[in-house]
Amino acid sequence: MGEKLMVRKARRAASHGLIERLLAEHTFALRRFIRVRLHTEQQHECDDVLQDVYMRLSQIEDLPAKLAGRLDTTRNYLLQIASNLIIDRARRAQARKQASHISSNDDDDEVPLYCEVNSPERSLANKRKLQRIDHALQKLKPAQRQAFMLHRIEGLSYREISDRLGLSVSTIEKHIAAALTSARHAIAKEEHDV
């Protein structure tokens, strides 16, 4: 058992020596990369990420063996570790920010405990709204419906629609305006019925 412990200590010492050499060799590039990624000139923020890079490297079992085949890509490997750590920090900061919006009070009126964004009720209401709009569009004249679909769905300009349908731009404008009015009336009727 003593021999295994000595081997483990020797590997750890070799890893720490390698880490020191790697960071000394690539510190300038790492600092520049971190500053750009964090959008900061704050030295302490760069130092924090560099410390995290050191910690991440020190947690890798038998680092010298892992890097032996990557000598030409070691710098990229270090930059990837730094990038991953920066992403992790941003995620943690975002989670803290979101968590800080939740009140510690017991007043249930302050914090909704559910999300209406994807609720079944909202989905059903949106489905009904789309059905009404589709029904309203089906009542349009074919040229009006086609002009509307080309503009809103395919993203064509009035000029492109005019060229495609062989109608004047002003006629296309009128067709699209009629379609929009019909869709707005369908939405207003839906909201009035609710």
Q: In whole angstroms, give the CA distance from residue 71 to residue 25.
A: 13
Q: In whole angstroms, give the CA distance from residue 75 to residue 62.
A: 18
CA dist 80 → 56, 83, 84, 189 (Å): 12, 5, 6, 55
Q: Give the start-to-end residue ranges of the domains of the chain.
A: 2-100, 120-193
Q: Please, what CATH class does the domain formed by 120-193 belong to?
A: mainly alpha
CA proximity to 143, closest of 174, 121, 120:
174
Amino acid at 49: V
Query: What pLDDT is recorded for position 39?
Result: 83
Q: In whole angstroms, give the CA distance from residue 97 to residue 99.
A: 5
Query: Radius of gyration (Cα) for the chain, nearest Å?
Result: 31
pLDDT in tens, the chain (194 residues): 567 766 566 666 667 788 888 888 888 888 898 888 888 788 888 889 989 988 888 888 777 777 777 767 888 888 888 989 988 888 888 888 777 665 455 454 555 555 555 677 778 888 888 888 788 888 888 999 899 888 888 888 999 999 999 999 999 999 999 888 888 887 777 666 65
Let me know: does 81 contact 33? Beta carbons within 8 Å.
no
Query: How far does CA 115 lie from the centroid of its chain?
Result: 20
* Furthest CA-CA distance within the chain: 91
Q: Where are the alpha helices (DSSP H) in 39-119?
A: 43-58, 63-68, 74-100
Q: In whole angstroms, give the CA distance from residue 127 to residue 113.
A: 24
Query: What pLDDT is recorded for position 169?
Result: 92
